[in-house]
């Protein structure tokens, strides 16, 4: 089980800085310092992968790769791969959100400059040609296919791989060999971008570990159809002859949606995966634990049973539940990586006894979200008096409104009278005369609970409103995944206040006892 500790949720892209997007640079190190000063032992981030449709890190074109836009220009300069002149003319990016289009253009321009300097022989120890060769050898199981996919997608104007020429779609060996020659320069650039991203992340991770801070990251169960993962492993997914999914993932109709949710992700051929020892999944988990201390599997229910619906339908109405790999997959993980596995189960929603049995068998902690408890009332498992030690307790997640935003409007579809009732219940539960300090009281509630790990978004620590939430599920556009933290708001006084609260709830020592897998 997890040691008693606490931490903050803040995605890398949300960090402040002058380059338009949070990155692995100085602001990340400053945030690690704040965590240490505040007595926090966990930093939770969202998937570190390249963003996909709608800038979502949950619809990535590559589950093994890192987001190249997270590469720090300042750290590239420190490594001898950029000059002051390269960083002299930074565009006037907005400070409060990520404007993804201009950021991507600017970051790739810098990466090309850094790569050109690298080819000319620049690069301090850790960033030399020998270091790149070592990196390529260590990641030969995914890197060449990813770099080729990225180069081909770029050459085809960003269209889905199923719209490429048939020989590349079906991965004809001669066509792929020719593509590697034709797009050699682009392949080298994408490989270089992964090399420097990995080096910077590993350095940041090491810095965090020196301060007794562990990194918690997300691993979505499904991958995007338009991804290097599906293109390179078509035999492991339920696809037709044209490469399109015959069935897709989602959830069935329920109280919240008459048509269910059609996620659109292709379904794994779990039978084939089992026959080869779940090799692709073992490879995926191996990559995850080389990047983070703890891995949150989301949604966990899909490993026990998952909802699939026809790929050619617009809704998830006509679907069925299919048995997942269950314990077999996690037994294979234990065989490969040892026990206990550094996994947290995203077990929100309606969870079956079968899911609970798997979690109990492998001692996987589950999740509770205080904000759900306010909505559901006294019997809710999400209220602290019902928590268990084997819980990771949140005030809210990246998919929730902030506590302050929820306070201003608990649920847009709820009538004002019901909203007032919910707010009044929250205040009564927390012993507050009003909602002025609801965010701090909520943080205290999860900290004082028996849950071994308590996590809260930075937005809740700062008492920020709905305009700062990072995701609104079911919506698209610039409002999602774009929020950035204001420079200077994480003050020494705030760290001291949080440290005191963490100390009196006996959460200071926690993660110092947690070893990295393989240690």
Q: What secondary structure does DSSP assign to 43-55, as a single string?
A: EE----SPP-GGG
Handedness of CA 397, 448, 461, 72 (dihedral sign): negative
Angle value at C-alpha 345, between 7 and 268, nearest 5 degrees: 135
Lookup: tokens for 203: 């350095």
The answer to whether 51 and 104 are in contact (CB under 8 A) is no
Check if 33 is active-site: no
Q: Pick the closest to residue 236 from 188, 225, 394 (CA basis).
A: 225
CA 204 to chain centre: 17
If one counts every other C-beta atom within 10 angstroms of the C-beta of residue 109, the result is 11
φ/ψ of residue 219, rounded to 5: -130, 100
Q: Who's near 292: CB < 8 A, 6+ residues apart?
A: 45, 205, 215, 216, 217
The answer to whether 410 and 375 are in contact (CB under 8 A) is yes
Active-site entry in 218, 229, 346, 347 = 346
Q: Pick the closest to residue 98 from 129, 57, 65 (CA basis).
A: 57
**Cross-sheet strand order for the sheet of 391-394:** 343-345, 294-298, 214-220, 42-44, 5-9, 453-457, 391-394, 366-369
Task: Region of 214 please: left (phi>0), alpha (psi -120 to 50) or beta.
Answer: beta
Check if 328 is active-site: no
Cα distance between residue 106 and residue 20, in whole Å: 9
Q: Who's near 399: CB < 8 A, 6+ residues apart?
A: 471, 473
Check if 130 is active-site: no
For residue 511, the 8-state DSSP code is G
Cα distance between residue 165 and residue 304, in whole Å: 37
The answer to whether 58 and 220 are in contact (CB under 8 A) is yes
CA distances from 325 to 249, 304, 328, 355, 406 (A): 15, 6, 6, 11, 37
Cα distance between residue 288 and residue 279, in whole Å: 14
> Could you identify the residue written with the tokens 């990155």?
23
Q: Pick the closest to residue 143 from 62, 72, 221 (CA basis).
A: 62
**Cross-sheet strand order for the sheet of 320-323:** 261-266, 247-251, 305-310, 320-323
Active-site entry in 218, 298, 304, 347 = 298
Residues with a catalytic annotation lie at: 298, 346, 399
């Amino acid at each position: 089980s997890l040691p008693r500790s606490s931490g903050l949720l803040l995605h890398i892209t949300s960090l402040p800085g002058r380059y338009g997007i949070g990155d692995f640079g100085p602001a990340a190190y400053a945030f690690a310092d704040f965590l240490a000063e505040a007595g926090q032992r966990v930093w939770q981030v969202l998937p570190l992968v390249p963003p996909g449709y709608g800038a979502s890190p949950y619809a990535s074109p590559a589950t093994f790769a890192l987001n190249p836009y997270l590469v720090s220009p300042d750290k590239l300069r420190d490594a001898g791969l950029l000059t002051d002149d390269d960083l002299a003319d930074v565009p006037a990016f907005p400070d409060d959100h990520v404007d993804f289009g201009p950021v991507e253009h600017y970051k790739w321009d810098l990466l090309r400059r850094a790569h050109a300097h690298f080819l000319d022989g620049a690069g301090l120890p850790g960033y030399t040609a020998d270091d790149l060769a070592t990196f390529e050898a260590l990641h030969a199981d995914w890197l060449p296919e990813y770099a080729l996919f990225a180069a081909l997608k770029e050459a085809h104007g960003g269209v889905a791989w199923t719209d490429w020429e048939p020989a590349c779609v079906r991965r004809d060996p001669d066509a792929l060999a020719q593509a590697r020659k034709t797009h050699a320069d682009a392949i080298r650039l994408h490989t270089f971008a992964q090399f420097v991203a990995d080096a910077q992340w590993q350095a940041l991770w090491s810095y965090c570990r020196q301060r007794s801070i562990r990194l918690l990251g997300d691993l979505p169960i499904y991958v995007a159809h338009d991804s290097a993962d599906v293109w390179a492993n078509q035999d492991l997914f339920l696809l037709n002859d044209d490469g399109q999914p015959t069935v897709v993932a989602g959830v069935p109709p329920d109280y919240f949606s008459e048509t269910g949710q059609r996620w659109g992700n292709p379904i794994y051929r779990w039978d084939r995966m089992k026959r080869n020892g779940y090799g692709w999944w073992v490879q995926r988990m191996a990559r995850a634990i080389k990047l983070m201390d703890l891995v949150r599997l989301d949604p966990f229910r899909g490993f026990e049973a998952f909802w699939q619906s026809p790929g050619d339908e617009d809704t998830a109405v006509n679907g069925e539940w299919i048995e997942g790999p269950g314990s077999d997959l996690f037994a294979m993980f234990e065989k490969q990586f040892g026990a206990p596995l550094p996994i947290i189960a995203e077990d929100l929603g309606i969870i079956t006894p079968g899911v609970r049995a798997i979690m109990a068998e492998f001692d996987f902690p589950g999740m509770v979200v205080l904000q759900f408890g306010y909505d559901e009332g006294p019997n809710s498992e999400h209220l602290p008096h019902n928590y268990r030690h084997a819980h990771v307790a949140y005030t809210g997640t990246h998919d929730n409104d902030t506590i302050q935003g929820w306070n201003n409007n608990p649920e847009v579809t709820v009538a004002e009278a019901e909203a007032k009732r919910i707010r009044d219940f929250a205040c009564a539960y927390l012993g507050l005369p009003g909602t002025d300090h609801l965010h701090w009281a909520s943080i205290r509630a999860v900290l004082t609970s028996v849950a071994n790990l308590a996590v809260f978004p930075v937005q809740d620590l700062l008492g920020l409103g709905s305009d700062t939430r990072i995701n609104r599920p079911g919506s698209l556009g610039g409002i999602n995944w774009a929020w950035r933290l204001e420079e200077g708001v994480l003050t020494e006084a705030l760290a001291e206040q949080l440290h005191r609260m963490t100390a009196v709830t006996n959460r200071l020592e926690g993660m110092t006892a947690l070893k990295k897998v393989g240690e």
